Structures are given as C-alpha cells and as structure tokens.
Structure 1
C-alpha cells in the first residue's frame, strides 16, 4: 500500500485497516510499503479481540478518543468524571455520550447566535454564523441520522426532550422538519439506489459534471413534490401527506420570517437549507457513484466502505456505508466489527474499500476522472489483491457508467428473482451479525 495510515483514524478503523493490510501481505508474500509491526497481531482472531475490547468504550467527543481525555487531578478531569456518568444516565446507549455533548453544543451556540442575528443583525456575525453551521452540518446530520433510524437517542423518561431538539435544530442546520426521515428511512433505504430511488445514481454518467449538476439540481428543485408522488405511487397516502406537509410547513415558516426580517432569515435559514441539500446530494453521490454493472442491486456492489477520518471520526462511522445498508439498525460503533466478522462475504461480494478519502473528495475525484488517485486509495480485498494501479483504475471507471433503461429493466425488473436471491444473501449476512 502506498498511502500511510492516518494518525487520526479511530482505533477500530486502525485495527480493521491493519487486518486488511495483513491479508495483502499474506497473499502477496511481499513486504508492504506500510510498516505493520508484529503482523501476527493483526490476523482475524487478534483483530476481533481488539475490537471486542473497544466495544463498550464510551465516546464523549468526536475529536478525541477516551484514552486522550484528561485523567487524574485537574479541573477538566474532574468535570469529565462528573459529566460522563451523568450523561450515561440520560443517553439510551451508554457509549453514545457524544450525542448528548453535541445536542448541548448546538443548543448553546447555534440557537443563541441565530437569536442575536434577529435582534441585532451584522454582516460579520451573519457570515461567521453560516461558517459555524457549515462546520456543524456533517456531525449534526449523522447524529440526526442515528436519531431517525433508532427512534431517538435518549432514555424513555427524556422522550420529551428527545422529541423536541430536532425541531429546534433542524431548520438552523438546513433541514426541513422531518423530511430527512421520510426521504432517508422511508424511501432511500427501501429502494437502495435502485431505479425508483429518487436519489439513485444509476441513470447518470457519474464522472460527468453535467450529469452531476442535473442530479443535484433535480433534488433541490423537485424533491418537495417527487417524494409525495413516490409515496402515492406506492399506495402510501399517509406518508405522502406527511412528506408534503413537512416541506410546506417548513417553507411557510421560512416565508413568514422572510416577510418579518429578510437578512437574518437569509443567513439563519435559507443559506443553510441550500448548503445542506447540496451537501446531502454530493455525499450521496460519493456513496453510490461506484455501482457494479453486473449486480447493481447488491448492497455490496452499489455502495462503498471508507476507512477515513472525516466520515468516521466526525460523522459517526458514516464511512461504513455498505454495512449500514446491509443493516440500517446496526449501532454506529458496531460497523468495524461487523465488517471484520463478515469479511468473507465482503470479499465474495467484490465490495470496495478505500482509505484516506471521504465522500466529498470521492465525488470530486470521480468528476475529475482521476481514477489513478482513487486506485491509490483502494484497500484491495479478494481478487483485487495483486491488481496493478491501472487495473484498479480501469475497474473503478467501469463502475461509473450510466445504465440504459433497457439495462435497468433487465437487471432490476426482469431479473427480479435473481435480485430476490441476492437480497436473501444480504439478509443471511445480517442475521449472522
């Protein structure tokens, strides 16, 4: 491997990456360009034990692991000794202290900043507010992602607070009320980047800028009507009504505030809305731009796995996207362990694993057709081991080709029995984990 192991990787990411590099060494019988000390410590059994040791370790902040936090004497160490057990009494899963930390962070910064802008608007403050929200949007969205998949984050006795904070923070971060839930949980995970997924990439030539702009533009301009119409086609009128109502009420709220005070609303609600929707589509594009042309319905072959810093450290393991699609209810900290346990299935499924690249850069590199750069980021598994960088680049290029309507009919509809079999295999994988 040419790329070094990033020093800020989460510990489970390091364990999995060293395990995969150990496989490469064992397969090629050559000295890796990445130094792996005591390589016998990185076989499957040793790696699984190491992941098990970290399984119940709480996460308090995204920037630091538990081992990096102050201990012993001192005011910071004392505050943590008080905060951690107190937070574990509120959060549903004792390892998810970081979610409560972030809820307090956003309520304590975004809300007061927005209120001040409405009371006393200044251009400098407005620009700084947008930059602050931009720095929050990834972590907030993936915290919300965990919230909507698991019907909340806090214990039952705090349900009133758990059901309130999203409605306060969603508009400030660029989300319309509840729309992320209806689109992501009730729609995207049902369709899985297939032909009826409104955010599907398969009808686009994924390395062409014009197609990318059409992809993003369609979502921004038409999702407000396309999602309710989708639910109507699926004979789900209640969801259609709720999806339409969430958008319309949100837009009405923004319009009301625009009439009252335009400039604060522009920076507090409108700009974050456009930035968030662009960001969501850029991210989803990177997650599903590489689609296998033989078996595009397989979760192993229509999404990817990233062992990186931004997606995993700051966005709660969003890089383990294949694992999430295989089991949307899996806890975010369990993805590395689930990957390692099912490494054979990932290998047989010809899944793609990358390191040192996030979804935004993935989209950027694909649009630049920089497949050699992407090939250098590939962590080869199975048949990919031993392929040259050019062979990997050619393989990645083939996975960005748009599907014709005839191919879609053949691979997603006429071959529905085949797709059912593929889904059974995926379900079997899920039951193992």
Structure 2
C-alpha cells in the first residue's frame, strides 16, 4: 500500500512524535526487510517515542501559535515581558503548564467584552461585522478551553475560584453559548450516553453521508435541545439537573430577548448570530467526531469515535483531535493524550480504531457528506490490519461505517450488550465476594 502522509510543520511536537511512530510501524510491517527483528524494533521505537513525549510533558504552553522553544529568550522587551508574565501566570493557573488558558481568558476579556460594549454604545455596521468575524476566530479555542474548564471543575487555583467561576458567565453569551448548557449537555449527558441511542446528539439513527439526514440532525438540536435535555434528565430521575439545565437555558433566552428589546442590532451581532453559529458549529463538529461508527460494535469507544492528528484540532483547540482518548478518560489532561495513545496503542489496534492526519472535524463532516471516501482513505493513518488494505479497501471500509442503524440493530447491539455486561459484572462481583 502506498503511504502518502505529509508532516505539517505546524503540528505540535507531540503530534509529530506519535505520527512518526505510526509511520515507522507501517514501514516495518510493509517492509520487514528494513529490520531483522520488526517486533523488537517496534518495542524499542515505542520506548524512544515515549521518552521523547515525557521530555515534552512539563513544557509550558503560553500561546497556541507558538511552542515554548519558539518564544524569545534572553534579553529584550518581549523576552522581559514573557519572563515576568509566565511565572506570574503559573501562580494563578491550577496546572503550571496551562499558562495558555490565562492568556486566552485575558485576550477575550480585553477584546470581546470592550468590542461588544462599544457596539451598544455606538453601533456601526462595519464594527458589527468585524466583531462577528473576531468571535468566529475565537470560538474554537474558547469552546475547548471551556471544555477543559467543565471537565475539571475549573482551570485556576482555589484562591482564584471567584474569578474562575465568573469569567464563563461573562464570555459564554458573547461566544454563542447559553449559560452552563455546554456543561449539562456535554458532561452530564453526552459522556454518560457516549453516542448511544439515548444520546440527544447521537449519530447512529442517521445515514451519515446523506445531506438530508445531516440537516435533520443539526435542525433537531437547534430547535429542540432546550426542551429535550431537561426531559432527558427527568426520564433519568435527575430532577435537579432537569431544573438547572432548563432554568439556565430559559434564563439565557430571556437575557437575549431583553437585550434585543433594548437594542436589537447590537444584540443581533453580539448575542444572536454567535449563538446560531456556535450551535451549528458544535453539531458539525460532533457529527465529524461520531459519523464513523463500527457496524459490529458501535458501543465501543474505540469504534464510535476517531483520532485526528492535525493542526486546527490539536494546536489551536487543546488536543481536541484525540477524541477517542478523551472518551476513554474524560478527566485526562489535554497534554496527556499523545502519551496515553502511545501507551494504549495495542488497544487501539485491537479495537480497530481510526486515526486520521491532516484533516479536522469540519472537513471530516464535509468529506463524508460529499461521499469522498478516497480522500478520507488518503488521510487515514492505518494501524493493525488496516496496514495491509488498499486505498479502495480502506475507502469501502470507511463507507460502511456511515450506515444508519435500524431500531432492531440498536436493541441488539446496545441494550442486549449492556445487559450481558451487567450480568458479567454481577458474576465477577459474586466471585470476588466469595473469595
């Protein structure tokens, strides 16, 4: 099989290490003559790659555009500012490597908030359009920073909890999020259901390479999530979550309505357009994350989500590309995903996981809807049995993973499987209690 993988120079160093490791796996599998003992070579290479990742583990991230090695060192005005800023910021953030989070909070508070306020003070169409474009450029990084915030109950040290609990309520509406909705839907719902049949953002009931199904998927979320999420919590006997999620959603809509009643045009550009764009973006992204679902084991985290090694997802969105790793451990620190992948590489191989490079979730969704499976096959980094497959075989394999599941299949592959898992767990617990 011809491997056509280009190494983007903007890739994070950790991504380069993992991708190079996988490429060497492909080479030793397809060309065993390159090593007299391919298995031993791979083991040694894995250890070398892990050591290289360990050396990067404590590297401080200050900006998403530049790595620590790219920052000015020594003397000079910029270096002096950084030398003062980094230790000051490390005294505020919970994890000393996460200076980048404080950088982004400061950036948004110093640009988005004044820009929005000035639109209400003196509205002009030019600034309104520029404001939306600025927010659009921020929304990916902000959402994934917020993603880290909601999974870890904050980003800053305890003595700054008041600020840590305040900035999301200021910035969320400006970025298109309703108050706390991301937390309730993503943490309390999506990660509980895991793209299963009761996940409101599940893709399994849709023919995932059909545009009409995609539009129904996005349209349902935009039109009905405000009522479906509280009803879901009520079905699960989680009344408190139902009341909180419903109250926050309705409170956000009431706030937008009152602001629009006061000044419509500023509110249109500051709150309404970002909300619409964010809701669409969240669903387009989630669709790309969960469009390729294994037909035989759709409940497996390895087979219902994907891994991307790319610049937009990982450099600018805090390793969002390592989506399978995130589902395996939602509390894992964002910088630990490449190491976790390498440690569990055999599990990914056995689980028939899908790893792609040089493509983000938005392009993933587009290529699936365009049925351009050859393009996706070219982006696939084959592991395990995939290495021996031709490009056409890979394309056909990917096509098979977009087929919608019937209700009979859902009952068989999800509910029956869950029942068997519960029974096996009960037997294990009984055996342990006897011991």
1:267 aligns with 2:296: no
CA distance in 1: counterparts of 2:95 and 2:22, whole angstroms: 29
CA distance in 1: counterparts of 2:81 and 2:423, whole angstroms: 53
- Aligned match of 1:43 in 39, 42, 45? 45
Match of 1:330, SS state, is: coil
Match of 2:225, SS state, is: helix
Cα displacement (A) at 1:415: 2.3
- Aligned match of 2:102 in 91, 100, 103? 100
- Aligned match of 2:294 in 292, 296, 306? 292
Contact 1:25/1:31 (8 A) holds in 2: no
The residue number in structure 2 matching 1:368 is 370
CA distance in 2: counterparts of 1:419 and 1:381, whole angstroms: 28
Cα displacement (A) at 1:283: 0.2
Describe the superposition over 1:380-422 as per-residue Cα deviations: whole angstroms up to 9, x where unpaired.
0001012100000000000000000000011111222445599
CA distance 1:347–1:65, change in 2 (3 Å) = same
The residue number in structure 1 matching 2:72 is 70
CA distance in 1: counterparts of 2:230 and 2:312, whole angstroms: 33
CA distance 1:71–1:413, change in 2 (3 Å) = same
CA distance 1:423–1:163, change in 2 (3 Å) = farther
CA distance in 2: counterparts of 1:57 and 1:190, whole angstroms: 32
Cα displacement (A) at 1:193: 0.1
The residue number in structure 2 matching 1:29 is 31
The residue number in structure 2 matching 1:85 is 87
- Aligned match of 1:276 in 258, 261, 278? 278
Match of 1:306, SS state, is: strand
Residues 178-197 of structure 1 correspond to what in structure 2 (within 5 A)? Answer: 178-197=180-199
Match of 1:415, SS state, is: helix
Contact 1:18/1:42 (8 A) holds in 2: no
- Aligned match of 1:210 in 209, 212, 218? 212
Cα displacement (A) at 1:41: 11
CA distance in 1: counterparts of 2:17 and 2:422, whole angstroms: 34
Which runs of 4 or more aligned residues in structure 1 lie more than 4 Å from their structure 2 counterparts after TM superposition? 39-42, 418-424
TM-score with structure 1 setting the length: 0.94
Match of 2:207, SS state, is: coil
The residue number in structure 2 matching 1:224 is 226
The residue number in structure 2 matching 1:427 is none
- Aligned match of 2:13 in 11, 14, 22? 11
CA distance in 1: counterparts of 2:208 and 2:49, whole angstroms: 36
CA distance in 2: counterparts of 1:417 and 1:241, whole angstroms: 30
CA distance in 2: counterparts of 1:51 and 1:423, whole angstroms: 36
- Aligned match of 1:351 in 342, 348, 353? 353
CA distance in 1: counterparts of 2:424 and 2:171, whole angstroms: 39
- Aligned match of 1:154 in 144, 153, 156? 156
Contact 1:323/1:335 (8 A) holds in 2: yes
Cα displacement (A) at 1:7: 0.6
- Aligned match of 2:336 in 334, 348, 371? 334
Match of 1:109, SS state, is: helix
CA distance 1:357–1:420, change in 2 (3 Å) = farther
The residue number in structure 2 matching 1:381 is 383
RMSD: 1.7
5+ long unaligned stretches in structure 1:
33-38, 425-433
Describe the superposition over 1:227-286 as per-residue Cα deviations: whole angstroms up to 9, x where unpaired.
000000000000000010010000000000111000000000000000000000000000
CA distance in 2: counterparts of 1:117 and 1:6, whole angstroms: 39
The residue number in structure 2 matching 1:324 is 326
The residue number in structure 1 matching 2:241 is 239
CA distance 1:244–1:389, change in 2 (3 Å) = same
1:109 aligns with 2:111: yes
5+ long unaligned stretches in structure 2:
35-40, 427-435
Contact 1:194/1:200 (8 A) holds in 2: yes
The residue number in structure 2 matching 1:303 is 305
Contact 1:353/1:380 (8 A) holds in 2: yes
CA distance in 2: counterparts of 1:187 and 1:381, whole angstroms: 31
Contact 2:206/2:403 (8 A) holds in 1: yes
